[in-house]
Structure 1
């Protein structure tokens, strides 16, 4: 699959913006004295907030695209525009070839949406809730099929108010899948789930993707994005800081080797670090040393050969490739430091 080919794009976003509150330069209502009008306009402009600041990306058919970022980065605001829940302040978004807000009727029956929080009538049973939702969904799955997908069949006759938080999230997902969507939006889908339920959800999402469903995922669980995503974008303060295939985003950040220096040894006693491909190092308490490198095998081999020749043991030795979590934290820290 060529993820860079926009000709097969199911989602196309160009220059997308979303602003909350008044735009800069807006004046107050006519009839207010000029001096007061000017003062109020300045106050309103300051009160406005641009959550999404001109972003571009595309998602192709059958791809799982993760949108990541810290709180307030603009992820949910972006996804709400893709879902057609609001109109953009600027720019353009197309889902399945249509404007999801202006042409909602052409898009809604073809997408599934799992919001961060669902609102269910508490006195209805699980099955009654799904049946009610099915009445508003074109080509809905049978109730038991939908519940079986999320392993809630055994709770079909339980009232919604008696469900745990994790079970409610699974019910949210069942409703999002009712219409066999071509495009599925998942906003923090595994919040509140235990480890087993989270893994089950991951497996279901993989099956949906492998069956041709296009998935857009937002999550705070970076392990989740690393496990599931084909590509991702990391947002920061309304803009996309970096994007690409998961492996490429991770590979752009250094691997790490950490260990404890034996008593009597100092960092200067190590072999020349630059010759091992080490790009940086830190010393910590208890003689702990952390090395950063883009050439993990070369650095680890050189270090272990040196320790063997010296007849010493490197206690607490930890050799690891960069993870998405580490890449995310480095990107976020770099952006904050640069502001």
Structure 2
């Protein structure tokens, strides 16, 4: 599961001590999975005719196979549909039987990810002293959920960050930082029947349902992002590759424009692209931390003092 280190212009715990919070989240994640699995097994082994097989965190976080992504996404959607768009009341921590009873292992995994995802959102919108007003739409953002769930632990994600360029703010697309490269990613929405025809000009064509419509060339945004990132590291060169990628998991990109050094990931190679990221395990590297910390220093943050702290101060006065 990738780390969400920046969300829009929200404050983030990772801005204060990157390495500490990366390690802490990984540790808490493993401890929580072992705790949930232990409680789930205890409740369901009392009812099951046969012992439930052990499974570690690494077993399912790194599992691979044909159709894995689609199956997992479908399970996640089913789980979300059951939860509904309104938050259900939380179970009391000591009522484990009600929480885990009758749940399958796949449902347990989905619940575990749901809990982790909400924790990621909290960490990406609040620090120890400050917090930001997070748009609740991110709780249901399927692209964000997918990136965090299926990119490995050594990936750092900046999701639509706002950079400070000169005296003006600049809205960016998605930035992924791996141990060896920085990826500028632009998401291209499309129908399952959409075919995007690339062009080196300002517009691309989208063909869907026997009609054609023009969309702004996403490479324009990627080029702008690349220039900003290159300017950030102009004084302190970074030995990491900078790549540009257009991601359209539901549609087809008909890439024929010559001379365009941009990777296209559509529904035909989408699953393979994510699997490849998982097949190259590597610890988070020093250069990667430096890149993330440097980029965060050039982002904008809109936040206010946490309410709990203000209440404590008022009580002391």
- TM-score in terms of structure 1 length: 0.26
Q: What TM-score, normalized by structure 2, do the two folds share?
A: 0.27
Quick check: which has more Rg, 1 or 2?
1
Bigger relative CO (Cα 8 Å, ≥ 6 apart): 2
Hey, which of these two has a bigger chunk of strand by percent? 1
